[in-house]
């Protein structure tokens, strides 16, 4: 079996405009600019998506503020283990944590005065059949969760992941966009757009792929989820359908379920 070539790009948010300005490799790879409408692509045009990318998605924030994702105070955040601090960081001694020991952290160096960091990877890629409304329900629930995490005094290192496979040419493309570095102030408008608005996946990330792939890709490939999730990462997996995300309440319930599963995975990893 021939393995696919791995092509991975790690992109800081300040680098995104340069990616948007880069030329396409193939002129007929231009789905990012097609007039598919907001009911699928999140915005009517690529230019509108670029504007939201630059200034944030206020409408998405309003959804969170109006309580469309319900109360997030019972997410279990305070019951979760502490994550890595800084670059070298700190990680939980899971056995001690589960036993209730008050001193359950293992320090690599003096971390006094630093806040706990939670590294979260959110898969924003999904298949063509996933509705924009479902993507928004899921995204807004995640925005509310992230806002709650930061309100507890922890810091989020947020990465939006978009990955696809070119089966014909045997290439895997992965784009890891750092929406918020741990030392950055939380720009909720940016976060809301990147993980809550379909235009980030279906216009911005399409444009990234168009600038990268040397060959035409039918349907822009097949979405790929993350395998072998690192122990220190909270991974919110990609959407696989519409039914479970059809309402804001369902979006909240499933996001909370995924969060609980990730906490359980972290607890079991070192037990």
pLDDT in tens, 115-160: 788 999 999 999 999 999 889 988 888 888 888 888 888 889 999 9
Q: What is the pLDDT of residues 166-214, one digit of tens each?
A: 999 999 999 999 999 998 988 999 999 999 999 999 999 999 999 999 8
Question: Which of 27-36, 38-47, 254-263 tops mean pLDDT?
Answer: 38-47
Of 25-39, 44-58, 204-218, the range with the lowest mean pLDDT is 25-39
Phi, psi dihedrals of residue 122, rounded to the nearest 5°: -110, 120
User: Who wins on pLDDT, 127 or 271?
Assistant: 127
259 vs 207 pLDDT, higher one: 207
Choose among 65, 30, 6, 2: nearest CA to 210: 30
Task: Calculate the alpha carbon distances from 238 to 40, 42, 45, 125 in Å.
Answer: 17, 17, 24, 6
pLDDT for residue 260 is more than 80: yes
For residue 135, count other CB atoms closer than 10 A to its CB: 26
For the record, the structure tokens of 55 come out as 């200034």
Per-residue pLDDT, 145:
86
Q: What is the mean pLDDT of residues 20-27?
A: 90
Find out whether 6 and 174 touch, Cβ atoms under 8 Å.
Answer: yes
Torsional sign, CA 40, 164, 123, 10: negative
Amino acid 77: pLDDT = 35
All structural domains of the chain with their residue ranges? 5-75+115-269
Q: Among the listed ranges 15-24, 80-89, 114-123, which one has the minimum average pLDDT value?
A: 80-89
Is the confidence at residue 84, as pLDDT, over 60?
Answer: no
pLDDT higher for 215 or 244? Answer: 215
Round to whole Å and give the CA distance between 191 and 196: 8
Partners of residue 176 on adjacent β-strands: 10, 161
Residue 15 confidence (pLDDT) above 60: yes
Pairing outcome for strands 171-180 and 233-236: unpaired
Q: What percent of the chain has pLDDT over 70?
A: 80
Length of the chain as a residue count: 271
Higher per-residue pLDDT: 61 or 33: 33
Q: Looking at residues 27-38, what average pLDDT do you find?
A: 87
Which range (29-38, 127-136, 145-154, 243-252) has the least confidence?
Answer: 243-252
Structure tokens at 60: 């998405």
- DSSP E strands in the chain: the ranges are 5-12, 90-92, 105-107, 117-123, 155-166, 171-180, 222-223, 233-236
Listing DSSP states for 1-64 in one string gives -PPPEEEEEEEEGGGHHHHHHSPPSSTT--GGGS---HHHHSSSSHHHHHHHHHH--HHHHHHH
Tell me the CA end-to-end span of the chain in Å, nearest whole number. 36
* pLDDT at position 71: 38
User: Which position has the higher pLDDT, 101 or 185?
Assistant: 185
Task: Residue 47: count other Cβ atoms within 10 Å of its Cβ.
Answer: 10
Check: CB of residue 137 under 8 Å from CB of residue 97.
Answer: no
Per the DSSP assignment, residues forming a β-bridge with 16 are none
Strands 105-107 and 90-92: antiparallel
Handedness of CA 128, 131, 135, 136 (dihedral sign): positive
Which tokens sit at 196?
A: 């809550």
């Amino acid at each position: 079996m021939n393995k696919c070539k791995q092509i991975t790009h790690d992109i800081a948010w300040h680098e995104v405009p340069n990616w948007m300005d880069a030329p396409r490799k193939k002129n007929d790879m231009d789905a990012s600019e097609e007039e598919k409408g907001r009911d699928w692509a999140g915005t009517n045009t690529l230019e509108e998506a670029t504007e939201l990318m630059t200034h944030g998605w206020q409408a998405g924030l309003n959804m969170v503020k109006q309580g469309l994702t319900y109360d997030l105070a019972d997410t279990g955040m305070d019951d979760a283990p502490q994550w890595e601090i800084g670059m070298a960081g700190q990680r939980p001694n899971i056995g001690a944590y589960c036993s209730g020991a008050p001193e359950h952290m293992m320090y690599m160096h003096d971390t006094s005065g630093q806040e706990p960091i939670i590294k979260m990877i959110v898969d924003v890629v999904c298949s063509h059949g996933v509705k924009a409304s479902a993507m928004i329900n899921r995204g807004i629930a995640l925005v509310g969760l992230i806002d709650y995490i930061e309100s507890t005094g922890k810091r989020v290192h947020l990465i939006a992941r978009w990955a696809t496979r070119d089966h014909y040419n045997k290439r895997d493309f992965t784009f890891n966009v750092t929406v918020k570095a741990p030392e950055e102030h939380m720009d909720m408008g940016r976060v809301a757009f990147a993980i809550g608005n379909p235009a980030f996946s279906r216009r911005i990330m399409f444009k990234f792929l168009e600038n990268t792939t040397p060959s035409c890709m039918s349907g822009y490939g097949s979405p790929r989820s993350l395998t072998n999730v690192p122990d220190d990462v909270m991974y919110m997996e990609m959407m696989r359908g519409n039914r479970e995300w059809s309402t804001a309440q369902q979006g909240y319930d499933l996001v909370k379920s995924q969060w609980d599963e990730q906490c359980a995975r972290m607890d079991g990893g070192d037990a």
